[in-house]
Amino acid sequence: MKQELTISKIELYKLSIPLIEPFVTSLGVDTAAENVLVKIFTQEGLVGYGECSPYMPINGESQDTCFIVGQYFAKVLKGKNPLDIKACIQLMDEVIYGNSSIKSAFDIALHDIAAQHAGLPLYKFIGGENNKTIITDYTVSIGDPELMAQEALKIKFQGYPAIKVKLGKHGPTDVERIKAIRKAVGDKIPLRIDANQGWKVKEAIETLNALAKYDIQHCEEPIARWKYMKLPKVKKKSPIPIMADESCSDEHDAKRLIEIDACQYFNIKLGKAGGIYKGLKIVRLAEKAGIHLQVGAMIESRIAMTAFAHFALSSSMIEHYDFDTALMFSVDPVTGGIQYKANGVIEVPETPGLGATISNEWLSTMPKTEI
């Protein structure tokens, strides 16, 4: 007999937290995390937490749209069984197309409840094992080459094992940026680059070839996401492995990219995929196709970042981790959750469920709605 719980109440909060300093990519400048927190309550006393960090240039959502659409979801999910995650996700998909960011927040909260009910850490509930060390890279924002080199050197001295560099604003200048960084940090620390769709196809090929001598691990999303049919050409002519990010949102995107042999890596973000349930579908496709994986983030707090870390333990094909943005917050409101240790090492909680919460006292300062 299938076990059941009942959703009794859902709270939505606008979670707004300034960053220590601006985070700059080819897509824009962020000075604060403008997120949405979801709390799902059950009649039986379990409470699940979820969070999303909508990003208008990537998933077409904002804090305001997530806050409104989340209320539609709350109305249809109230009274439903949170343990039937598949049915809950189907309900949300029936309510509205897309809106993957706010769907991911609900998905995380549902998984939190289900894992708590099972008495298992979230990673174990989804079939994962805590059998590898998760180590995050740290990101250099795009800007003046010399300033980027100084920032990269600081990251190296802080002990991070790899440096991620934002590029995508004029290929020849991007080469100068990497040249300056490599000169500053030396030859031993790995560099990863992310163009955030900033290059034209020809520019991407030329830039990637010019960067080959700087020993780059991989390049995320070199060209516009809608030009994904050109990715196989870029992959073929690039000496640097290609990672699909914006062009790989959900399992349908992943399937298309596999069919056209577009890249060597996928970057899975739960806010693009719609949550853990759909993110695992990408993982299974990648495992069959031999596609290696990174789990990435937008600008989430340690609530969602903890979910990402649990998710990252679901497959041995997940080998890169980009979980640094929570470290950029001016305030950390989260209790429990992942712990950032020395040299980028991340410790995942072993408590049942997600293992991360935010106090009611802190949330009382944020705009709220309740259904």
Predicted confidence (pLDDT) per residue in 145-203, tens digit = 999 999 999 999 999 999 999 999 999 999 999 999 999 999 999 999 999 999 999 99
Q: Taking a C-beta distance cutoff of 8 angstroms, is the pair 150, 184 a contact? A: yes
User: Which member of 11, 30, 174, 245 is catalytic?
Assistant: 245
User: Which member of 39, 230, 269, 272 is catalytic?
Assistant: 269
> 194 catalytic, yes or no?
yes
> 220 catalytic, yes or no?
yes
Which two three-digit tokens encode residue 362?
Answer: 């802190």
Strands (E) located in the chain? 7-25, 28-42, 47-52, 134-135, 138-140, 163-166, 191-194, 216-220, 242-244, 265-268, 292-295, 318-321, 334-336, 339-340, 345-347, 356-358, 368-370
Indicate whether 1 pLDDT > 50: no
Whole-number Å distance between alpha carbons of 304 and 106: 11
Q: What is the pLDDT of residue 109?
A: 98
Q: What is the pTM of this model?
A: 0.95
Domain boundaries, given as residue ranges, for the chain: 7-119+359-370, 124-357
Q: Taking a C-beta distance cutoff of 8 angstroms, is the pair 135, 345 a contact? A: yes
CB burial of 349-358 (b: ≥16 within 10 Å; e: otherwise) equals: beebbbbbbb
Average pLDDT of 282-290? 98
pLDDT averaged over every residue in the chain: 96
pLDDT in tens, 48-65: 999 999 999 888 999 999
Task: Please give the CATH superfamily to which domain 7-119+359-370 belongs.
Answer: Enolase-like, N-terminal domain (3.30.390.10)
> 164 catalytic, yes or no?
no
> 179 catalytic, yes or no?
no
Whole-number Å distance between alpha carbons of 323 and 193: 15
> 144 catalytic, yes or no?
no
CATH class of segment(s) 124-357: alpha beta
